[in-house]
Amino acid sequence: MTTATTAAAPVTALQRIRPDVRAMAAYHVQPAAGLLKMDAMENPFPLPPALQAALGQRLGALEINRYPGERIGLLQQALAQYVDLPAGCQLMLGNGSDELISLVSLACAQPGAKVLAPLPGFVMYAMSAQLQGLEFIGVDLTADFALDVPAMCAAIAQHRPAITYLAYPNNPTATLWPQADMQAVIDAAAQVGGIVVVDEAYQPFASRTWLDAIRAQPQRNSHVLLMRTLSKFGLAGVRLGYLLGPQALVAEIDKVRPPYNVSVLNSEAALFALEHADVFAAQAQELCAQRTALVAALQAMEQVEKVWPSEANMVLLRVPDAARTQAAMKARGVLVKNVSALHPLLANCLRLTVGSAEENTQMLAVLQESL
């Protein structure tokens, strides 16, 4: 008697990739060659020539044949001094905020763990959760992009998320939520033993920082991690982010950080920038002034349906047809972001970067022509 055997179906190399990854869309960066790039919230001001020369000399003298060493520690010390790191807190570095988001998810990736965040929000919260095997729960903001505190607290009580993200200000809405609303959500997360990550990527342009609340009430915020990046500081090309919070919590997350995740070139450029922080602070102040003028000009355009207040270096507005307007602006040499597809609340919304006076003037003229 013979037993029939069924040959296993052949597996291709592509099928070795997780099905959910194959179903994902990659993060898309719009080609910008030959265009005025107003879609990515970058600082428009290059380093002054004298500082360019000085930085080049610093970078050229580095031992790039060696792994990153003591200069990383010096950068951590410089950042701790720059933010006036609260007592009992620790600081860790990441290759931009994106890596830090992934590391927090990785450290919390236990069976059944969930991540919760308001929507619309930064897309990497959901993406990193999925890639690390955590379930993502989104809670809609109100129609005017306010934090829906009752809905957030109810969702936290129901889902008991390991991580709750609060972007402060939010991306893409540029909203800085009231401190009382933030604290209510943070308190709700504490009730279920969750971690809250307050993402302050746009802090240089905001009127408040959650770091003040952490200093004022450290115990009430003992489950809060605060994340920042030097991208909006003016170093988007350097890819340097940092996370700070209670020593015990940060020390555990630091265990999943790859060794040498920040290069000597990145760390030295960041050290150099911190030594010249006054230059970047002046640039941020100028961009805040330009933001006020840009919002006023947008509000004066009859075909612009709505402009939301901003506490970041971006402005969100609604137009009759965002896809057509974005395409028309691109054809005229200006690249802006159509965020309509990110969430139903963003229907026909464009997100504009706040640039220099000259860039904003050009962008406004092209927008008027394109509406």
Q: What percent of the chain has pLDDT over 70?
A: 98
Instruction: Dump pLDDT digits (tens) for 18-43.
Output: 898 898 887 777 787 889 999 999 99
- Give the pLDDT score at 26: 79
Question: pLDDT: is 26 or 306 the higher one?
Answer: 306
Q: What angle do CA 214, 287, 364 make, to 5 degrees?
A: 135
Q: What is the rounded average pLDDT for all residues in the chain?
A: 94
Q: Is residue 5 part of a domain?
A: no
**pLDDT digit string (tens) for 87-108?**
999 999 999 999 999 999 999 9
112 and 151 together in one domain: yes
How much is the average pLDDT of 146-164? 98
- 292/356 same-domain check: yes
- Angle 227-229-231 (CA atoms, 0-180°, nearest 5)? 160
DSSP string, 345-367: GGTTEEEEE---HHHHHHHHHHH
231 and 315 share one domain: no
Residues above pLDDT 90, as percent of the chain: 88
Q: Is the pLDDT of residue 5 over 60?
A: no
Name every residue whose Cβ is closer than 8 Å to that of residue 87 and which is 6 or more positions away in sequence. Answer: none
Residue after which a domain boundary falls, among 251, 275, 299: 275
Domain match, 168 and 187 both = yes
- Tell me, yes or no, whether 270 and 293 share the same domain: no
Q: What is the DSSP string of 76-110?
A: HHHHHHHHTPPTTEEEEEESHHHHHHHHHHHHT--
Give yes or no: residues 238 and 282 share one domain: no
Residues 252 and 263 in one domain: yes
The pLDDT assigned to 32 comes to: 79
Mean pLDDT of 79-84: 96
pLDDT of residue 4: 54
Number of Cβ within a 10 Å radius of residue 66? 8
Tell me which residue of 199, 278, 209 sits closest to 231, measured CA to CA: 199
Q: Do 246 and 310 lie in a common domain?
A: no
Strands of 54-208 (E only): list them: 89-94, 114-119, 135-140, 163-167, 195-199
Pairing of strands 114-119, 163-167: parallel
The CATH number of the domain holding residue 256 is 3.40.640.10
Same domain as 292, residue 269? no
pLDDT at 287 over 80: yes
CATH at residue 43: 3.90.1150.10
State the pLDDT at residue 3: 53
**Which range of residues forms the domain containing residue 246?**
66-275
Which of 221, 240, 275 corresponds to the end of one domain?
A: 275
Q: Which amino acid is at 84?
A: D
User: What's the token pair of residue 95?
Assistant: 């290759």
Q: Starting from the edge strand earliest in sequence, which strands make up the sheet with 314-318, in order? A: 306-307, 314-318, 349-353, 337-338
Clarify whether residues 129 and 231 are in a common domain: yes
Each residue of 310-348: pLDDT tens digit? 999 999 999 999 999 999 999 999 999 999 999 999 999
